[in-house]
């Protein structure tokens, strides 16, 4: 497999919201978009251990709720960390990432426990990326659920998601057929992952998250890095000016019905309330036994009780 140039990919720039690899010489001419069932397609270049990608989960989830009727999201893996054969930007070993992740957590107000890099560090982001491609060969919706579970494992629960036991656990929770998942992981999915790396290179994708909003006429809007919600919304409206937002239900039962797990910030953004008020509501539901809570060093993850 090809790998990004020597870089410091895990030192994400908090100000720009980008986990970045060095500039490449490729110039984008056209965006290869197959005609889908919806007017717009979003090519989302990401990585399972990209902390800035975890930081935009609230915006992305809201985007799907308000514009999912016209927007099809296509996930591509970017290969953030091939291995540790580099020394750049003050990060040359896993333990160097721990403090940085704690800083990123505070900046994005999304729970991340950087101690995974001290207790059970990952040697690459390639295995969970290939696992996601294997999941996509079965079911795209379940693959997205699996990616979310792997991210919760690594960012909150300090699990080394390069290990098959955790990949398998995430696949099982997502409802995937595990024998096929493992077989594809060891075979076909490697080619699919390489195709993602090649596509990212051809489009001069240098960091994550990178999003290309595309219409059927070949028009494209790119959003690079973690941005406020209205930036993504503006990209959509440039391509479909007359689009109306879908008025989704904002009560807690409906939101948890769509997204079985939510951080406090996610619940606040999707409910369109303050984080302070969100905390009051969530803790009240916890006291009633309607929700359960996983407490991370830098924040909480909420889910329906018994899940």
For residue range 230-260, list pLDDT tens digits in order: 999 999 999 999 999 999 999 999 999 999 9
Length of the chain: 307
- Domain membership flag for residue 4: no
Least confident of 75-89, 92-106, 146-160, 245-259: 75-89
182 and 92 within one domain: yes
- Domain membership flag for residue 80: yes
282 and 180 within one domain: no
43 and 187 within one domain: yes
Contact 265, 105 (CB under 8 A): no
49 and 182 within one domain: yes
8-state DSSP, 13: B
Strand partners, 213: 42, 221
163 and 262 within one domain: no
Residue where one domain finishes, among candidates 149, 173, 208 = 208
* 8 has pLDDT over 70: no
268 and 135 within one domain: no
- The count of domains in the chain is 2
Query: Which residues span the domain enclosing 26?
Result: 19-208
- Domain membership flag for residue 262: yes
- Domain membership flag for residue 247: no
pLDDT, average across residues 53-58: 98
Mean pLDDT of all residues belonging to the chain: 90
Question: Helices in 203-241 by DSSP H: which ranges?
Answer: 229-239
179 and 74 within one domain: yes
- Domain membership flag for residue 2: no
Confidence of residue 24 (pLDDT cuts 50, 70, 90): very low
Distance CA 245, CA 69 (A): 9
**Cβ atoms within 10 Å of 39's Cβ, excluding its own:** 16
147 and 62 within one domain: yes
- Domain membership flag for residue 282: yes
- Domain membership flag for residue 240: no
Tell me the three state secondary structure of residue 300: strand
pLDDT for the residue 93: 81
């Amino acid at each position: 497999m090809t790998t990004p140039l020597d870089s410091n990919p895990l030192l994400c720039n908090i100000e720009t919201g980008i986990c970045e690899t060095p500039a490449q010489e490729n110039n984008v001419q056209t965006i290869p978009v197959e005609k889908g069932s919806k007017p717009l397609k979003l090519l989302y270049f990401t990585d399972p251990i990209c902390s800035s990608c975890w930081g935009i989960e609230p915006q992305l989830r809201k985007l799907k709720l308000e514009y999912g009727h016209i927007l099809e999201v296509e996930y591509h893996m970017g290969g953030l960390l091939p291995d540790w054969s580099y020394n750049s930007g003050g990060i040359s070993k896993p333990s160097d990432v721990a403090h940085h992740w704690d800083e990123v957590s505070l900046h994005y107000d999304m729970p991340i426990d950087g101690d995974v890099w001290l207790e059970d560090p990952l040697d690459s982001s390639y295995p969970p990326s290939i696992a996601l491609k294997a999941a996509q060969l079965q079911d795209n919706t379940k693959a997205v659920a699996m990616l979310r579970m792997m991210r919760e494992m690594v960012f909150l629960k300090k699990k080394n998601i390069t290990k098959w036991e955790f990949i398998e656990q995430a696949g099982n929770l997502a409802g995937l057929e595990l024998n096929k998942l493992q077989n594809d992981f060891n075979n076909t999915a490697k080619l699919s992952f390489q195709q993602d790396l090649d596509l990212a290179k051809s489009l001069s994708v240098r960091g994550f998250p990178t999003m290309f909003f595309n219409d059927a006429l070949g028009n494209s809007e790119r959003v690079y890095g973690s941005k406020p919600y209205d930036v993504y919304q503006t990209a959509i409206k440039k391509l479909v000016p007359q689009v109306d937002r879908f008025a989704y239900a904002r009560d807690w039962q409906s939101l948890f019905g769509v997204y079985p797990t939510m951080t406090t910030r996610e619940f606040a953004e999707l409910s369109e309330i303050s984080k302070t008020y969100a905390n009051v509501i969530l803790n009240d539901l916890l006291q009633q036994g309607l929700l359960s809570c996983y407490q991370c060093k830098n924040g909480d993850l909420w889910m329906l009780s018994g899940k």
